[in-house]
Amino acid sequence: MTRLALCLASAALLLASGAAAKPPSWDLRIDKAARFKVLKAFGSQAVLDKETGLVWEQAPGAQADSWSIAMTICLRTAIGGRGGWRLPRFEELATLIDPASGAMPVGHPFDAPPGDYWTATTHFDDSGPLSDLVLLLDSEDGATIFTAKDSSGFLIRVWCVRGGAGVDDQ
């Protein structure tokens, strides 16, 4: 059996068993507390964002002084006995900030301290990736911040996510 046939057979089995998650409907905007669901199956330590389909740590607490350590923290995270956690892309983390107010959405269930958070997104310009820079998101006002992948002892918060599509370093 070819590799493609094996992949298609596996996908068919997942769909038949109902194990595959349905992707979110991108034309749906869910406001207020109905958007988020604290997951009891994860020991109430993870939150499903019904608008994006992503699962977030309920109470991110780790900090790291380099991008590689932040990435490693998420890779080693196990919440509710489940691995598969990663550092979010900038765009994913930005979905947790209301663009109108620059704050977390009303009714959110997160215990996330305000401040800067690492993302998996490296900075690009017209000539390609600038491999020494990474984007941060300031959760207090939604600001975009660029920093070096090694923040020289300055601790930056880590907020891990599960699901969606991650990115690899360039």
Q: Computed over its alpha carbons, how large is the radius of gyration of the chain?
A: 17
Per-residue pLDDT tens digits for 107-163: 899 998 888 888 888 776 655 555 556 777 777 666 677 777 777 678 888 999 999
The domain segmentation of the chain, as residue ranges, is 24-162
Per-residue pLDDT tens digits for 70-98: 999 999 999 999 999 999 998 898 888 88
**Residue 1, Cβ density class (10 Å: 0-12 exposed, 13-18 middle, ≥19 buried):** exposed
Range 24-162: architecture per CATH: Roll (3.10)
* Residue type present at position 12: A
Alpha helices (H) along 18-65? none
Give the angle 115-117-121 at the CA atoms, nearest 5°.
150
Q: How far is CA 48 from the centre of its chain?
A: 11
